[in-house]
Amino acid sequence: MSKVMVFFRDRHSVKQNLKFIMQHGLKISRKLDDIHAIVCHANQVSRILNAANKRDIVEIEKEIRVRLHARERVPWGVKRIGAPRMWQESTGRNVRIGVIDTGIDAFHPELRGRVARGIHMQSPRYKYGDLNGHGTHVSGIIASAHNRQGIKGIAPGVLLYNAGTFDQNGNASSIDIAEAIQWCMNQHVNVINMSFGSPKRSEAISRMVKAAYNRGITLVASAGNNDGGPVDYPAKHPEVIAVGAINRNNKISPFSSRGKDVTIYAPGEKILSTWTGNSYKRLDGTSMAAAHVSGMAALLLAKNPGLPPRQIQSLLIKHSKPLKGTAGSGYIRFS
């Protein structure tokens, strides 16, 4: 409901007229002593004017809408992969993405209302919080709101499922991760983002990855920050889309894992996204690259519900561009 401000001649006239107003059973929203004014709802103005001494009123102002001098930024990675070209057709609406990470700050302005459900293996009270910030950063890349402030995420229409698994130092066990995948499956998610890895293969995670894939869930994982070395698990599993990182120059990032086990590359350097405490932060890593691919998978699924993981992967590869001077996988680029 709109508001109106009524200005009086002086402090004394405010005091006197408030008595008349109260005697008529009327209420005001606020009194601003320093400028001799009261605030009331617009639908009460005429009654307040009848109750007050009109000679004491010097001005009446209806509220004016004021906007922040802030522009919503489209991060370079979101532009590079071609997400803005798809927003007229898809925002990822109602696609469910499980984020297995350190948690998600569900109260960040960019993510408020996007986290449908949550758990946390390390700390149950953090089912809608983040022990570290990494999970909030990943989630912001995927789903930051298009709300005229901050940044734009790739798929602002998605529903996030917070599978908090890692502690404040970024550590988790393979069994915790297997349980988190099972929890995501129980929530009927469509995509699982796994921005983590290990050089060692886990039987527990391997079996859960196969089970999720057979359930029709698209699995995306970061290839690893191994300085050009081999791809980590779970990205190395054939059922998983393994994502390496590129920079603004469309070159593979020096820290990124590479090789035949990388499915696709995506932006992973100086990526601006959400952070705990209603803030923003730039990070490097294949974690960030994986989030770009999960977001794009959601856009595709919202447009083509029911697409199996193999077809999602094929479409992502089809819409990729070759990397300069590099044989093999390209970088994601919808045009």
Q: Is 36 a catalytic residue?
A: no
Encode pLDDT of 135-178 as tens digits: 999 999 999 999 988 999 999 999 999 999 999 999 999 999 99
Per the residue annotation, which of 13, 56, 90, 101 is the catalytic one? 101
Rounded mean pLDDT, 15-30: 85
Banded model confidence at residue 327, pLDDT cuts 50, 70, 90: low
Q: How many angstroms separate the Cα of 129 from the Cα of each of 112, 170, 188, 193, 323?
A: 12, 15, 21, 17, 38
Rounded mean pLDDT, 212-229: 97
Q: How many angstroms separate the Cα of 217 from the Cα of each of 16, 17, 21, 35, 306?
A: 69, 67, 63, 61, 10
Q: Is 101 a catalytic residue?
A: yes
Q: 238 by DSSP, 3-state: which?
A: coil
Superfamily of domain 76-332: Peptidase S8/S53 domain (3.40.50.200)
> Which has the closest alpha carbon to 126: 117, 118, 136?
118
- Tokens 């994502």, residue located: 243
> Which amino acid belongs to residue 249?
N
Banded model confidence at residue 227, pLDDT cuts 50, 70, 90: very high
> Are the beta carbons of 251 and 66 closer than 8 angstroms?
no
Per the residue annotation, which of 36, 134, 237, 292 is the catalytic one? 134
Domain range list for the chain: 3-62, 76-332
Encode pLDDT of 277-301 as tens digits: 999 999 999 999 999 999 999 999 9
> Which pLDDT does position 249 carry in this prediction?
94
Q: Is 137 a catalytic residue?
A: no
Question: Taking each helix axis from N to C terminus, what angle separates 174-186 and 203-214, rounded to the nearest 10 degrees?
Answer: 20
Per the residue annotation, which of 13, 144, 287, 294 is the catalytic one? 287
Average pLDDT, the chain: 92
Per-residue pLDDT at 231 exceeds 70: yes
Banded model confidence at residue 71, pLDDT cuts 50, 70, 90: low
Instruction: Write out the E strands in 93-232.
Output: 96-101, 115-120, 159-164, 191-194, 218-222
Q: What is the CATH number of domain 3-62?
A: 3.30.70
> Which pLDDT does position 179 carry in this prediction?
93
Q: What is the DSSP letter of 124?
A: G
